[in-house]
Amino acid sequence: MTSTRIKKKIANHGVAWEQAFGYVQAVQVKDTIYISGQLSHDGDGKLIAPAALDAAGRPIDFNQMEDQIRQTYVNAKKLLAEFGATLEDVVEETLFVLDVPSAFAAGSKVRKEMYGTDTPPVASNLIGVSELAFPEQIVEITFRAVVDIPTAP
């Protein structure tokens, strides 16, 4: 029996939760790059624009949605660059959000800004969820990109 393994290239941010949960931020298999759910953190893993929480540990409001979405795209761009890719290579994204109306308003603005066009050529999903990995986080975005791989002559 012949066994062939799929060659994978991986990338991480180097934040603590990668090791704690045991996963990589991005993996490329052939021409496709799969990016794990991205959060709005800086290079040290500190959350950017964390939501204020009530006594029960739930977000009080969703005013930070735009800033969190923007930083999440910044983090995705860093990962894509590890593979020589950009947002232009993204074909699908999924936004997991705690509040759909605020995410729709903020996301429509930030997506146009990040992709540099009023109609990004990206299949997009916006899904409301009850909670995310960190209580202060109100949005998480996954990405899938496809890149051209030169063929051997």
How many angstroms separate the CA atoms of 88 and 117, rounded? 11
Global confidence as pTM: 0.92
How many angstroms separate the CA atoms of 115 and 73, rounded? 10
**Angular region, 14: left φ>0, alpha ψ -120 to 50, beta rest:** left
Query: Cα-atom radius of gyration of the chain, to the nearest Å?
Result: 17
pLDDT of residue 115: 97
Q: Does 77 fall in a domain? A: yes
Domain of residue 138, residue span: 8-146
Domains contained in the chain, number: 1
**Positions of E strands within the chain:** 8-11, 26-29, 32-38, 90-97, 123-128, 139-146
Enumerate the H helices of the chain as residue ranges: 16-21, 65-82, 100-115
How many angstroms separate the CA atoms of 117 and 19, rounded? 36
Q: Does 129 fall in a domain? A: yes
List pLDDT tens digits, range 124-134.
999 999 999 99
List pLDDT tens digits, range 52-99.
999 999 999 999 999 999 999 999 999 999 999 999 999 999 999 999
Q: Does 98 fall in a domain? A: yes
Q: Does 76 fall in a domain? A: yes
CATH code (residue 111): 3.30.1330.40
Three-state SS at 151 = coil
57 phi/psi in degrees, rounded to 5: 80, 20
pLDDT of residue 104: 96
Q: Does 140 fall in a domain? A: yes
